[in-house]
Structure 1
Amino acid sequence: MTSTSDTTPTRRGATSATRWADLARNPLVGPLAALVVAVVAFSLITDTFLRPANLSLILQQSVVIGILAVAQTVVILTAGIDLSIGAVAVLGTIILAKVGGSHGPEVAIVAAVVTLVLVGLVNGALVAWVHLPPFIVTLGVFTAMYAATQLYAGSQVYPVDKGILTWLGTKLSAGGLTITTGVLAMLAIYLVAWYVLSQTAAGRHLYAVGGAPEAARLSGIRSGRVLVLTYLAAGLIAAVAAWAALGRIPNADPNAYQNANLETITAVVIGGTSLFGGRGSVLGTLAGTLIVAVLRNGLTQAGVDNLYQNIATGVLVIAAVALDQVSRRRVQT
């Protein structure tokens, strides 16, 4: 007969192993661990990485891509993709600069928000109601927005005077670390997105549409409306990113952020969000954004050529997608 004292350690061991297994399956654990490893590695390789000024620079460099990556995350969670997000944000910067110069900053902000939300509506309508592939839709919108921005800007750069349009570049000091209001805005957007996705019915519907579309349809979820609202939200977030871009550099350049779409996808994928939809977190995306920023900053300080930095980032993306594939196969089996 087995005594209670003999079985208790075994049960405790099994419970502990289960907890560790559950923790390992959390998609947020990998990105956070990678971020910690990168920070520790570069702090050992270089003497300047952990200096407050450098950490502040990393955060400031992450703002625009970090905000756009939130929009990319919600779209990818629906099993879609948005290749137009960078071009849409650049159009927003030109609208803010030109309309702000002629009609005032308040009118410019309203004009930029309305325009970019309408672009999101077009994306969402074509995907949800016309049933076109998101890749094709957003690739076409990317091409159209890039050309429209060049035409609207006349291929010129527009400087922006200090004021509300550059407010997200205002610097704040805390404990020797200097950050900007843009960093706080980025963190606020992540917090709101996390709450909506994890604590509301709208978030659960979005995950269902991306992860199990047929089950979502049978359960009465209006998938088309969810998709349209998702792309509308992406347009609104892109408007905030455009505002933050002028706070970062007070010039509206129609040629800026040409790789923003790829950089946002990189941050999302490294952050553990599945390209197949229905799995991931905006908190993982935040970690992914910081991983890319830390990697580029650390390699630059270590004297590594920018081309090799791109190679390292590309390898990291491929590895992240491969891990996602393995994880999905394990879940299915």
Structure 2
Amino acid sequence: MSTDVTTAAAEFARRQQSPVQRLQSQLHKRPWLSPLFLLFVAFLSFFIATPTFLTANSMGILLQQTAIIAALAVGQTLIILTAGIDLSVGAIMVLSMMVMASLAQDGGMPGILALLIGILLAVGAGFLNGILVTRINLPPFIVTLGTLSIFTAIALLYSGGASIQAPRLPRLLNFLGEGFGIGGFRLTWGVILVGVIYAVVAFVLSQTAWGRYVYAVGDDPESARLSGVPSKRILLGVYTVAGLIYGIAAWILIGRAGAATPNAIPDANLQSITAVVIGGTSLFGGRGRLVGTLIGALIVQTLQFGLSQMGVDQQWRVLATGILVIIAVAVDQWIRKVKA
């Protein structure tokens, strides 16, 4: 009886809402809906603006370009879900990439060993960020701002600022740049690996206790702690897992770029954060889904790719990305005000 009364009350309250309030409520429950609509609008706009945009070849290139930022955005999502932020994401990836490439170049070390060392280095970098946040209680923004400079400098010093081209590397490190074609559409193994990463992490977040703890820590860390959630251990795990994902992204980047260079993707930090925020994950933690992050990464790269095909200058593309970030955060603030 009480259940029927509660249901009836909820239905009455829903009917009392205005159309805008109902939209706000739906976006609060499904934060990926607004970026999905934005992606549709972007595809439609560029299809009208340039006939070469929505072709099999262009779509294959777009997916390959999206793969790197989409991979980094998985780790960034985990951290932002805990109300943190990682400014060192690109630096960790580049450092990992340069180490694995330098160790394996010209047959110096077996590819599999160099790959594992590079990924373990990225895991260690993420673990260091986590230690500084959880044990020394430093703000994530300050920690990762500092390690951004540290890891960038180490990568430049270690590599001497020089790039290592694909012919000097073992096939294993270049493997993810290979793939297969379906008509004019080309799909690489790197893109497929990114899809696997999304599937695994999405399952962990939605179906395991660890995933529920990640959301709980981001939503209200004090309440989570009082409920018996090992908040600091969860946070440390999040930064460490993010480091693992950055290391895998370094491997994908070598295959995609056909080289290891210390100056790769200088705006990776901004693009990964943009993808996460546009995808509906709240900067205040506790709300968001990986499907939204994937859509956000596609939006970022679609914007860059489409404007490039239209011949728009790089500075205007950066301006458009910045505007998207501000709009996404404003929408997030509005959605968070929804009444229960």
In which range does the TM-score fall when normalised by the shorter chain?
Answer: over 0.9
Q: Check the 8 A contact 1:270/1:285 in 2, yes or no.
A: yes
- Tell me the secondary structure at the aligned position of residue 180 of structure 2: strand
- Tell me the secondary structure at the aligned position of residue 293 of structure 2: helix
Answering whether residue 43 of structure 2 is matched by residue 35 of structure 1, we say no
In structure 1, what is the equivalent of residue 5 of structure 2?
A: none
The aligned amino acid for 2:118 is A
Structure 1: unaligned runs, 5 residues or longer:
1-9
- State the shift of 1:24 in Å: 3.5
Deviations 1:42-69, CA, capped at 9 Å, x for gaps = 1111111111000111001111111001
In structure 1, what is the equivalent of residue 71 of structure 2?
A: 67
Answering whether residue 233 of structure 2 is matched by residue 229 of structure 1, we say no
Deviations 1:92-143, CA, capped at 9 Å, x for gaps = 1111111112111011011112111111111001101111000111111111
- State the shift of 1:21 in Å: 6.7
- Tell me the secondary structure at the aligned position of residue 81 of structure 1: coil
* 1:239–1:207 Cα change, 3 Å: same
Answering whether residue 192 of structure 2 is matched by residue 184 of structure 1, we say yes
Superposed structure 1 runs of 4+ greater than 4 Å apart: 17-22
Answering whether residue 114 of structure 2 is matched by residue 108 of structure 1, we say yes
Q: Check the 8 A contact 2:282/2:288 in 1, yes or no.
A: yes
Residues 91-240 of structure 1: matches in 2 within 5 Å? Answer: 91-101=95-105, 102-160=108-166, 161=169, 163-174=171-182, 176-240=184-248
- State the shift of 1:329 in Å: 2.4
- State the shift of 1:19 in Å: 8.5
In 2, Cα distance between the equivalents of 1:156 and 1:284? 37
Q: Among the aligned pairs, what percent are the same residue?
A: 46
In structure 1, what is the equivalent of residue 6 of structure 2?
A: none
In structure 1, what is the equivalent of residue 321 of structure 2?
A: 313
In structure 1, what is the equivalent of residue 302 of structure 2?
A: 294
Deviations 1:294-325, CA, capped at 9 Å, x for gaps = 11111122222221111111111100001111
Q: Check the 8 A contact 1:269/1:275 in 2, yes or no.
A: yes
Q: Report the TM-score when normalising by structure 1.
A: 0.92
- Tell me the secondary structure at the aligned position of residue 187 of structure 2: strand
Q: Check the 8 A contact 2:104/2:170 in 1, yes or no.
A: no
Q: How many residues align?
A: 322
Q: Check the 8 A contact 2:82/2:285 in 1, yes or no.
A: yes
Structure 2: unaligned runs, 5 residues or longer:
1-10
In structure 1, what is the equivalent of residue 49 of structure 2?
A: 45
- Tell me the secondary structure at the aligned position of residue 48 of structure 1: coil
In 2, Cα distance between the equivalents of 1:153 and 1:249? 17
Q: Check the 8 A contact 1:87/1:257 in 2, yes or no.
A: no
* 1:73–1:219 Cα change, 3 Å: same
* 1:112–1:292 Cα change, 3 Å: same
Q: Check the 8 A contact 2:204/2:210 in 1, yes or no.
A: yes
Deviations 1:268-301, CA, capped at 9 Å, x for gaps = 1111111111111111010000001111111122
Q: Check the 8 A contact 1:97/1:159 in 2, yes or no.
A: no
Q: Check the 8 A contact 1:98/1:158 in 2, yes or no.
A: yes
Shifted more, 302-311 versus 17-26: the winner is 17-26
Shifted more, 155-164 versus 280-289: the winner is 155-164
The aligned amino acid for 2:179 is K
In 2, Cα distance between the equivalents of 1:262 and 1:77? 17
- Tell me the secondary structure at the aligned position of residue 273 of structure 2: helix
The aligned amino acid for 1:125 is I
In 2, Cα distance between the equivalents of 1:310 and 1:227? 32
Shifted more, 111-120 versus 216-225: the winner is 111-120
Deviations 1:32-88, CA, capped at 9 Å, x for gaps = 111111111111111111110001110011111110010101000001011111001
* 1:226–1:154 Cα change, 3 Å: same
The aligned amino acid for 1:228 is L
